[in-house]
Amino acid sequence: MFTLRRDRARRSAATTGLLAAGALLLSGCAAKSVATGSPSGPAASGVASSAVASSAGASSSVAAPAGAAASGAAASGAGSSSPGSSAATPGGPASVAITITDAKGCIASPDTVVAGAVTFTVKNIDATGITELELLSDQRILGERENLTPGFDSTFSVTVDGGSYQIYCPGGATEKIPFTVTGQAADVATGSTATLLQTATVHYSTYVDNQIEFLIPPVQELVTAIKAGDLAAAQAAYARARPFYERIEPVAESFPDLDSAIDLRIGDVEAGTAWTGFHPIEKGLFVTKSTRGLEGLAADLLTDVKNLQVKAKALSQATTAKTGKGYQPFEIANGASGLLDEVLKSKITGEEEAYSRIDLLDFQANVEGSLQAFATLQPALDQIDPTLVPTISSKFDALVAVLDTYRDAKALGGWTPYPELTAADKKKLTDALLAVQEPLSAVSAKITR
């Protein structure tokens, strides 16, 4: 565990501030602006130039987050359901057929269209190694389709302005072919994916700052309860504090010294080093069942958390000021995935809260943090591939639905104590978790650095 954290921290330090996720604050507050589809948020810049419309076949019309021009989500047609008519009616959207073969890679017909809406119909004949196709403009992904398995068709639409583009079929005999758009599209606005991503980083930084702000009062209560010798109050405060930290853990991990000081478990403490932070306090409160001797640890924890607040704020300011040293969009994506990895590594195994057994509370907080980080990126992702967000969101929904069955209002922290879960329960949670993590782990690559 600790090793991993250190590695991550090093990695992040090399890039810039790390990242991670956030969470939906039950109590509302400012964190709300980060929630899914904030109407005044990322999309305010208007209709995107690469606005993605939907398309053929079985379109599962999951509403895209507000602001994205897409009104529906295109689905790749499967098997026998071939896409509809591709006749190019004058003034209507242009149709381009892309054929992928093992021998030649991808071929577009026609390879020149007039600016405006273009519908691409993609057919993979026999290229087993090609699973995706991208429409690129200066390395930026304007439209993308995945799951291009041989024998299956797919469709996507974009609105493009005049210029030179490329169709990219990675792994193909010919990987990139030129694609030309002539003229100028009407009503093309300037809101770009890059703009949406910058907005996302600002929203995310606000979210992180809020979580840390909300973390301080329960830690304060913990200090007070321990000082007063009130075991029950201290246990309650401990459980109240944990989720705020767990939602943003990858950010904390970007400050390796702080994360170690705050959240190390006994098995990760090097010989000769002091064990500090949440977990020795947890052991005292839930195993020794006494507040005695914990005063110093609690006071130090408060100091460290406040220190974390200062450092995170500096990151936020850099983000808003666009100095290049703040949160990076791809880091938010990595953090979202990293939070789920946290769950898989130390929550599903029941190792994180070995004494208090509130593992599911941490579990839920990690998931929520991941979901929030992902949510900030949605408007931008919707421009790249309108099927992406609905796909991942539905998996998140399924995970949350499974998790919700373990709520227990009477238990400390509000969740079933971890030892009460059966092996079958844990398998169900793992399966739901992996279903989200796999597609989520590929998101950062869709975001231009």
Partner 1 sequence: MSSSVTPPSRGPDGTPPRPSRRRFFGTAAVALAAGGAAGYGVRTATAAGTGGAVATGSTTASGGATTDRSASTVPFYGARQAGITTGQQERLMFASLDMTSTDPRDLRLLLGRWAAMAARFTSGQTVSSSPDKPEQPPFDSGEVLDSGPYSLTITVGLGASLFDQRFGLAGRMPAALAPLGTIPGDAVLQPELTGGDLCIQACADDPQVVFHAIRNMVRAARGTAVLRWSQLGFGRASATGAGQSTPRNLFGFKDGTNNIHADDVSATSDHVWVGRKTDQAWMRGGSYLVARKIRMEIESWDTDELSDQEKIFGRTKVRGDPLTGGTEFTPIAFDKADADGTPVIDPASHVRLASPEENGGVRILRRGYNYTDGQDPQTGKLAAGLFFIAYQRNPHLQFKVLQARLGSSDLMNEYIAHIGGGIWACPPGVAEAGDWFAKSLFTPV
Q: What residue ranges bind partner 1 (CB under 8 A)?
A: 58, 75-76, 78-80, 102, 124-132, 147, 149-152, 170-172, 330, 391, 395, 398, 424, 431, 434-439, 441-442, 444-445, 447, 449
Edge-to-edge, what's the strand order for the sheet holding 52-53? 52-53, 153-160, 116-124, 94-101, 105-109
Nearer to partner 1, 37 or 329 (CB): 329
Nearer to partner 1, 4 or 442 (CB): 442
Please give the structure tokens belonging to residue 33: 């602006």
Distance between CA atoms of residues 348 and 310, nearest Å? 32
Half-sphere exposure of 398 (CA within 13 A, CB side): 16
Q: Which is nearer to partner 1, 168 or 355 (CB)?
A: 168
CA separation, residue 222 to residues 238, 277, 296 (Å) = 6, 12, 12
By DSSP bridging, strand 140-145 and strand 133-137 are: antiparallel
Closest CB 438 distance from partner 1, rounded Å: 4
Q: To the nearest whole angstrom, how small is the minimum distance from the Cβ of residue 51 to partner 1? A: 24
Q: How far is the CB of 59 from partner 1 (least distance, A)?
A: 11
Q: Among residues 295 and 438, whose Cβ is nearest to partner 1? A: 438
Would you call 40 exposed, middle or buried from its count of C-beta atoms within 10 A (0-12, 13-18, 19+)?
A: exposed
Question: Rounded to the nearest whole angstrom, what is the least distance from the CB of residue 129 to partner 1 in the complex?
Answer: 4
SS3 of 252, please? helix
Contact 238, 246 (CB under 8 A): no
Beta bridge partners of 415: 407
Q: What are the backbone dihedrals phi and psi of residue 100, each rounded to the nearest 5 degrees, phi first?
A: -115, 125
* Cα distance between residue 218 and residue 81, in whole Å: 56
> Between 76 and 291, whose beta carbon lies closer to partner 1?
76
Identity of the residue, 38 or 193, whose beta carbon is nearer to partner 1 in the bound complex: 193
Shortest distance, position 448 Cβ to partner 1, whole Å: 9
Task: Work out how close the CB of 253 gets to partner 1 at its nearest, in angstroms, rounded to a whole number.
Answer: 18
Which C-beta is closer to partner 1: that of 80 or that of 85? 80
Alpha-carbon span 411 to 391, nearest angstrom: 33
Shorter beta-carbon distance to partner 1: residue 151 or 267: 151
Beta strands in 32-190 (DSSP E): 52-53, 94-101, 105-109, 112-114, 116-124, 133-137, 140-145, 153-160, 163-168, 176-182
> From the CB of 337, what's the least distance to partner 1, in Å?
9
Closer to partner 1 by Cβ: residue 11 or 289: 11
Residue 147 φ/ψ region, left for φ over 0, alpha for ψ in the -120 to 50 degree band, beta for the rest:
left
Please state the closest distance from residue 103 (CB atom) to partner 1, in A: 11
Beta strands in 162-204 (DSSP E): 163-168, 176-182
Residue 60 burial by Cβ neighbours in a 10 Å radius (0-12, 13-18, 19+):
middle
User: What's the closest the beta carbon of residue 428 comes to partner 1, in angstroms?
Assistant: 9
